[in-house]
Structure 1
Amino acid sequence: MNRIELINLYGQGITDCETSPFEMLETLHIRSELHQLSLTKEEKKMVAAYDLKLLGNAEQVFEHTSKAYDFSASKEKMDEWWWHLDLLLKGEILFNATSLYDDVI
């Protein structure tokens, strides 16, 4: 699967809370895969736009995905903030858009 297809799958996944919690969990895995890739500026912009949608729907995504995943037990690095939606929603971590801005502008 190429990068654009992965980005589009991520985008579809984070906007559809009607899927199973396991499919939403797979969407977060796709986001982690994207995090590891060297993306072009255009691809970074696409991912950033979907990240903003995820942030806007963070509570819904958290509630839905929590049926299949315990966010409080996440051992993922903090730079993969999508695995720490519980902390994000509690205000214990903040999403830093500055580095994202530098990467895509």
Structure 2
Amino acid sequence: MDRMKLVNLYGEGITDCDSSPFEMIETFHIRSELHQLPLTKEEKKVVAAYDLKLLSNAEKVFEHTSKAYDFSASKENMEEWWWHLDLLLKGEILFSATPLYDDVI
């Protein structure tokens, strides 16, 4: 699947809390896939905008997704903060934005 299609699927998924909690988990898997891909600057900007939407709705997404996923048992890397919304909401981890440029760390 092309990267921009994945980006758009991620964006659609994080804004739809009326979907099944399992679909939200699939959206998190898409975000993890995007995390591993070499994205263009434009793709990174769009992902970052969707990440901000996810963050602004983190509590609602957490409550919805918790019906099907135990965040406290997540074994995912902490760089993949979307799998750790419980810790993010408690302030135990900080959000790390996707760098928009390759030379930004």
TM-score by length of 2: 0.93
Q: Name the CA distance, whole Å, in 2 between partners of 1:81 and 1:104.
A: 22
Q: Quickly say closer, same or farther: Cα 1:13–1:100, change in 2 above 3 A.
A: same
Aligned to 2:94: 94
**Does residue 1:49 correspond to 2:55, yes or no?**
no
SS at structure 2 position matched to 1:10: helix
State the identity as a percent.
Answer: 79
Change (3 A) 1:19 1:91: same
Runs (5+) with no aligned partner, structure 2: none
SS in structure 2 of the partner of residue 16 of structure 1? coil
Give the residue type in structure 2 aligned to 1:29: H
TM-score between the two structures when normalised by the length of structure 1 = 0.93
In the alignment, is the contact (CA less than 8 A) between 2:76 and 2:83 conserved in 1?
yes
Q: Where do 1:1-105 residues align within 5 Å?
A: 1-97=1-97, 100=99, 102-103=101-102
Root mean square deviation of aligned Cα: 1.7
Q: Unaligned regions of 5+ residues in structure 1, if any? A: none
Contact 1:22 1:65 in 2 (8 A): yes
Number of residue pairs aligned between Structure 1 and Structure 2:
104
CA offset digits 1:1-49 (Å, max 9, x no partner): 1101000000000001000000000000000000000000000001000
Contact 1:6/1:34, CA 8 A, preserved across alignment: yes
Deviation at 1:104, TM superposition (A): 9.4
Offset of 1:101 from its aligned partner? 5.2
Look up the SS of the partner of 2:99 in the other structure: helix
- Retained in 1: the 8 A contact 2:79–2:96? no
| Greater fraction helix | 1
Distance 2:86 2:96 in 1: 16
